[in-house]
Structure 1
Amino acid sequence: SSPKLQSLLQETVCFSDGQTGCAEVDSMTEAVAGKGFLLVCISCKRREEVPGSAIVDWHYKAAGSDEFIHIFQYEYNNPIILHENFEGRLEWKGTMGTKDVQIGSVFIHNVTYNDTGTYLCTFHRTLYLPLNEEHVVISKEVELTVVENANPELTAVISEIMMYVLIAVLQLWMIGVLIYCYRKIYAENEARETRKTARSQSKLVELKDPRDGIYL
């Protein structure tokens, strides 16, 4: 994949790490032998205000094989490489510093032709609701092909499309946040005015003489 798109995806990861928003982006599927490659896996929570935690697992199925092997696991600042074929080559590029993981991407160093195959990313998420806990499992697959040389024209086109899609998504999200904040502030002001009116009416009732309607 192109450095431009890899940089864009990294910026998306940083954007989500700051917990200011989350945009789900599909991974690229073509890696160049001898280069590095970012396996993107993002699972955004639908309700950001609900606290949660997640464990992320990566499995790999070689081309022509029927079985997945467990190659990687991340649980709160503890990345573990679980298969010798990926020893020293996998690096966590997901959410750091919090148990509330929404980005489970990993970076493969020194890609080889043997890395061709299907990668399965699985989020085991726990949502801490007021009355109980909810457990959710989200899985995403990446079909990776390793080539000798990247297709520069196709990569450039995809990079541009991804860039504009991300910009549009982030702009819509920002508009949504502004509308939400405006409604929240408006509702708080309305509630404050209602309370002030109620207090004023209560004081008038207390000051009024019920016998002749004359205020004391």
Structure 2
Amino acid sequence: MPLGMISFLALCIFYIQVPQGQTACAEVDSMTEAVAGKGFLLGCISCKRREEVPGSAIVDWYFKAAGTEEFIQIFQYEYNNPTILHEDFEGRLEWQGTMGTKDVQTGAIFIHNVTYNDTGTYLCTFHRTLYLPLYEEHVEINKEVELTVVEKANPELTSVISEIMMYVLIVVLQLWMIGVLIYCYRKIYAENEAREARKAACSQNKLVGSKDPCDGIYLE
């Protein structure tokens, strides 16, 4: 399975299995390759190091286009209030992070209808406030995503390797089954040959009148 797909699936599992507001958290890197005309999830997760401490966070997203030097702010989320802040992304950004609580730890956004102009560097910034017993602590966490927009998805090396390993495993299992069948056939054949030889020896002993050592052997 591609490494980028692993990250995406891990993020999806996090959304499904961890109820919003629950303290469990796992940081997963964002995917970095989008397909033109498709949607794309920009992942950004920042887990609190002390879950027992209440807190709140504001998430800002910035974008620096390829070939430019400055970031422009394109999005902000503050407790159930997602806001698109740049006209180039108007109607195309959707909040996919923590909802229903001020204690935001997942700050992902979804880009609809990706264009080649979306290629560049995205900066996700958490402005977190921790409400300690005696004072408030303010923390800023930054995470960057280098996004490349392509015409169609490219298979990653890990995907190719996993497919090769799958076919190798299938071939190995088939060869193993054939080997087991051959072994069983030879063993049964050898037992039949030995039984026929014993029968022949017993028949010969009876004909010459010798003491029968084959009592109990059934002769067909």
- Is this a same-fold pair by TM over 0.5? yes
Matched, 1:101 2:104: yes
Which residue in the other structure is 2:60 paired with?
57
**Superposed displacement of residue 17, structure 1:** 2.7
**Superposed displacement of residue 156, structure 1:** 3.8
CA distance in 1, matches of 2:112, 2:50: 34
Any idea what the Cα deviations from partners look like across 1:93-129, whole Å, max 9, x if unmatched?
0000000000000000110000000000000000000
Which residue in the other structure is 2:211 paired with?
none
**Superposed displacement of residue 19, structure 1:** 1.4
Check whether the contact 2:32–2:147 (CA below 8 A) recurs between aligned residues: yes
Matching residue within 13, 23, 27 for 1:24: 27
Q: AA paired with 1:11? A: I
Check whether the contact 1:38–1:106 (CA below 8 A) recurs between aligned residues: yes
Task: Describe how 1:62-141 pairs up with structure 2 within 5 A.
Answer: 62-141=65-144
Which residue in the other structure is 1:185 paired with?
none
Q: How many residues align?
A: 160
Which residue in the other structure is 2:48 paired with?
45
Q: Which runs of 4+ in 1 moved over 4 A?
A: 1-5
3-state SS of 1:85 partner: helix
Max radius of gyration: which structure?
2
**Cα pair distance change 1:55/1:155, threshold 3 Å:** farther
CA distance in 1, matches of 2:33, 2:104: 26
CA distance in 2, matches of 1:124, 1:81: 17
**Cα pair distance change 1:96/1:131, threshold 3 Å:** same
CA distance in 2, matches of 1:25, 1:158: 23
CA distance in 2, matches of 1:79, 1:158: 41
3-state SS of 1:17 partner: coil
CA distance in 2, matches of 1:76, 1:136: 17
Which residue in the other structure is 2:186 paired with?
none
Q: Which deviates further from its counterpart, 10-19 or 106-115?
A: 10-19
Q: Which runs of 5+ in 1 are unaligned?
A: 160-216
CA distance in 2, matches of 1:156, 1:85: 34
Q: Percent identity?
A: 79
- TM-score (normalizing by structure 2): 0.67
**Cα pair distance change 1:109/1:23, threshold 3 Å:** same
Q: Name the Cα RMSD after superposition.
A: 2.4
